[in-house]
Chain A
Amino acid sequence: MNLEHANTFHLILMIVICATIVITIITAKRGRKLFIRRIPGLSAIDETVGRATEMGRPMLFSVGLGGIDIPTLQAMGVMSHVAKLAARYGNRLIVPVADAMMVAVCEEATREAWLEEGKPEAHRPEDIRFLSGEQFAFAAGMMGLVIREKVASTFLFGYFYAESLLLAEAGQESGAIQVAGTPATTQIPFFIVSCDYTIIGDEYYAASAYLTQEPTLLGSLVGQDITKAILLLMIVVGTILAFFYVEDKNPLIQLLTRTVGG
C-alpha cells in the first residue's frame, strides 16, 4: 500500500468517517440529548483550582513540549478553562512553555480569559514564561518553578516525553495536587504513579466536550465512538477472512486485498 496518495478505499473510509462525525454534530446541535460518562480527572479540575485558591498559592499549567499542533491545541482548550476559573477566583496561573511560538498564543489565551471574567487588569503576562526549547532544560526550569513558587496545583496537559516523570515528581514532592493528560501513551504510566488524576488516551480528546458540555463537541464524541465501532468491525471481519481464506486461492479475497491496498 502506497501511502503517498489515497486510494479508493482511503477516500471512501475518510468520507464515511467525516460524514459520521459531521452528522452526529448536526443531530446534537438540533437538541438530541447526549450522555458522557464521568471522567474523574476532568471533574477534579474545578476542585483543584478551588483548593489552590483556598491555600493562597498559585497554580501551574504546562501545555507540553509541542508547538501549535493538535495535542497542544487541545491542551490550550483546557488551559483556557483553568485560566477562566483562576481569573474568577482571583488566583495566579503560571504557564511555562517550551516553544517560543506558544508564548504569544498562551499570553493571548490567558488575557482573553481574564478579560471575559471582567478582570483584565489582574492578568499577569509575566506568568507566561518561555523556559527553553531543550527538553531537559525545560524540565529543570519547570521543576524549579514548581518548588520556588510553591504551587498548590499543577496541570500537565499536552505532549510530553521522558521529562514527564521529572515534572510530575517535582509537583508530588512539593505537595501539589496534580492533574495530567497526554496522548503520549508511553508517558501515561509515569503520570499515573505521580499524579492525583490522569486522563488516559481517548479521554484527552474528550476533555473539551466534557468541560464545556457543548452539543457540537458531544456530538463529535458520539461520531468518534461510531467511527471506532466501524474500525473494530473491519478488524473483526478482516481477521475472520484472513483466518478462513488463503489469499492466493480466493478471487474475492484478492479483490478485497487490492482495494484496501495490501
Chain B
Amino acid sequence: MMQEKRKVFYIRRAIFLIMAIAVAIPLLVKISMPIIVSWPTRDLYEAVEKVPPDKIVVISNNWAAGTQGETAPQTAALIYHLAKRHKKFALWGWNSVQGPLLAQQIAEPIAQKFGLKYGVDWVNWGFKTGSDQMVRAWARDIPGTMKEDINHTPMSKLPFMKNVRDHKDIGLIVEITGSATVGTYIRFLYGIYRTPIGYGCTGVMVPEAFPYLDAGQLVGMMRGLVGAAEYEELAGYKDGKAGKRMAAQSFAHMLIIALIIVGNAGYFIARRRKNAHAEGGQP
C-alpha cells in the first residue's frame, strides 16, 4: 500500500516536471506557428470593423489576474485593433476590481503608439460595484451611473463623453471575462436594446457560449488563448503575446494526449496481466 502510494507520488511529480518543461521550452526558445483563424474570431473582428464612427466600443473587463494568461492577450489584441482603426473605446468592469486596472496597463502603451489621447479617444470608466440592476441603469444613463472615470475625473469634464449618453451610442460591447457574466449583457443589453455583444473568455467557458453564438445573441467570440492569437493575426498585431504562447499551448496539448495514451497503455497491460494471472490460478 505504501509502495503504491509512493509510486503515485513520484508519477505525479514526474508529470508536473514534464509539463513544466513542455511549457517552458517554447516560451524560452522562439517557436512560431501558423495561425488558422476560426469563424467565431473572424465574426468578432468583422463586427468591430462594422462599428460606425459615431458610436463607441465598450470593453467590459470582468477578469482578474488569475485568468490574465488568456484574457490579457484578448484585451490587448482588441484594443490594438480599435486603436489601429481609430475607433473610440471605453473600458470598464463590474465583477472584478482588478479588470479595469489591468486593462488600463494594457491600453496605455497601445494608445500611445497610435497617438490616441486619453479622455478624447478612449477612457477608462473604472470599476462600478453592483450587478444586473446596475448594468440596466448604466444602459439607460451611462454618465449618470458612472459619474467619474478611473482617475476620479467627472464625466462632464471628459470630451469623450460629449456624445455618449446611453446604449444607443454603443456600437458594440465586448465582454472579456473569466466568470459567467456575459448573461447579464445578453439579458439586459441584447435582450432589451439589441446592442451587439462580442465575447472573449477562457478556454473552459467556450462550449457554454456556443448556444448564444448560434442563436445570434453573440456576434463573435475569442476562444481563449487561441482566439486571442487568431485575433492578433487578423489585426496584424505582431507584438502580441498570444501568438508566441501558442507553441507552449500546443506542446501542453500534445503532452496531455501522450499522457492519456501512456496511461491507457499501462491500464491495458495491467488488465491483461491480471486476466492472465486469474486464468492461471483457475483449476
Interface residues of A (CB under 8 A from B): 1-4, 134-136, 161-162, 173, 184-187
The reply to whether A3 and B192 contact each other, CB–CB distance below 8 Å, is yes
| Distance of A136 Cα from B178 Cα, bound (Å) | 12
**Given A161-B179, A162-B178, A186–B208 Cβ distance below 8 Å?**
yes
The reply to whether A186 and B205 contact each other, CB–CB distance below 8 Å, is yes
Which A residue's beta carbon lies closest to that of B67?
A: A162
| Distance of A241 Cα from B64 Cα, bound (Å) | 45
**Which residues between 104 and 144 of chain B lie within 8 Å of chain A, taking CB atoms?**
none
Tell me which residues across on chain B come within 8 A of A1, comparing CB atoms: 191
The reply to whether B191 and A186 contact each other, CB–CB distance below 8 Å, is no
Tell me which residues across on chain A come within 8 A of B66, comparing CB atoms: 135-136, 162
Tell me which residues across on chain B come within 8 A of A134, comparing CB atoms: 64
Interface string of B184-201 (1 = CB under 8 A from A): 000110011000000000
**Given A173-B12, A184-B180, A135–B204 Cβ distance below 8 Å?**
no
The reply to whether A161 and B192 contact each other, CB–CB distance below 8 Å, is no
Interface size class of B (residues with CB under 8 A): 10 to 19
20 contacts between A and B (CB under 8 A): A1-B191, A2-B191, A2-B192, A3-B187, A3-B188, A3-B191, A3-B192, A4-B191, A4-B192, A135-B66, A161-B178, A161-B179, A162-B67, A162-B178, A162-B202, A184-B180, A185-B208, A186-B204, A186-B207, A186-B208
Query: Nearest Cβ in chain B — how far from A175, in angstroms?
Result: 8
Interface of B, secondary structure class, is: helix
| Distance of A184 Cα from B64 Cα, bound (Å) | 19
Which A residue's beta carbon lies closest to that of B202?
A: A162
Interface of A, secondary structure class, is: loop
Which B residue's beta carbon lies closest to that of A187?
A: B204
| Distance of A186 Cα from B191 Cα, bound (Å) | 24
The reply to whether B204 and A162 contact each other, CB–CB distance below 8 Å, is yes
Tell me which residues across on chain A come within 8 A of B178, comparing CB atoms: 161-162
Query: Nearest Cβ in chain A — how far from B13, in angstroms?
Result: 11
Known contacts A3-B191, A185-B207; can you find 4 more A-B pairs with CB under 8 A?
A162-B67, A184-B180, A186-B205, A187-B204
Which B residue's beta carbon lies closest to that of A184?
A: B180
| Distance of A132 Cα from B204 Cα, bound (Å) | 23
| Distance of A184 Cα from B67 Cα, bound (Å) | 18
**Given A186-B205, A186-B207, A135–B64 Cβ distance below 8 Å?**
yes
Interface string of B167-181 (1 = CB under 8 A from A): 000000000001110
Interface string of B45-73 (1 = CB under 8 A from A): 00000000000000000001011000000
| Distance of A187 Cα from B180 Cα, bound (Å) | 12
| Distance of A63 Cα from B204 Cα, bound (Å) | 21
Tell me which residues across on chain B come within 8 A of A135, comparing CB atoms: 64, 66
| Distance of A67 Cα from B121 Cα, bound (Å) | 38
Which B residue's beta carbon lies closest to that of A173?
A: B12
Which B residue's beta carbon lies closest to that of A137?
A: B66
Query: Nearest Cβ in chain A — how far from B257, in angstroms?
Result: 15
Which A residue's beta carbon lies closest to that of B12?
A: A173
| Distance of A189 Cα from B178 Cα, bound (Å) | 17
| Distance of A185 Cα from B180 Cα, bound (Å) | 11
Query: Nearest Cβ in chain A — how far from B175, in angstroms?
Result: 15
| Distance of A134 Cα from B12 Cα, bound (Å) | 28
Tell me which residues across on chain B come within 8 A of A162, comparing CB atoms: 66-67, 178, 202, 204
Which B residue's beta carbon lies closest to that of A134?
A: B64
Which A residue's beta carbon lies closest to that of B98?
A: A134
Q: Most chain-B CB neighbours within 10 Å: which of A2, A3, A136, A186?
A: A186
Query: Nearest Cβ in chain A — how far from B280, in angstroms?
Result: 32
Tell me which residues across on chain B come within 8 A of A3, comparing CB atoms: 187-188, 191-192
| Distance of A161 Cα from B12 Cα, bound (Å) | 24
| Distance of A196 Cα from B60 Cα, bound (Å) | 38
Tell me which residues across on chain A come within 8 A of B64, comparing CB atoms: 134-135
**Which residues between 1 and 54 of chain B lie within 8 Å of chain A, taking CB atoms?**
12
Tell me which residues across on chain A come within 8 A of B67, comparing CB atoms: 162
Tell me which residues across on chain A come within 8 A of B208, comparing CB atoms: 185-186
| Distance of A187 Cα from B178 Cα, bound (Å) | 13
| Distance of A96 Cα from B51 Cα, bound (Å) | 46
Tell me which residues across on chain B come within 8 A of A184, comparing CB atoms: 180
Closest 9 CB pairs of A and B: A3-B191, A4-B192, A136-B66, A186-B208, A186-B204, A186-B205, A3-B192, A2-B192, A3-B187
Query: Nearest Cβ in chain A — how far from B234, in angstroms?
Result: 26
Tell me which residues across on chain B come within 8 A of A173, comparing CB atoms: 12
Query: Nearest Cβ in chain B — how far from A76, in angstroms?
Result: 20
Which B residue's beta carbon lies closest to that of A3?
A: B191
| Distance of A184 Cα from B204 Cα, bound (Å) | 11
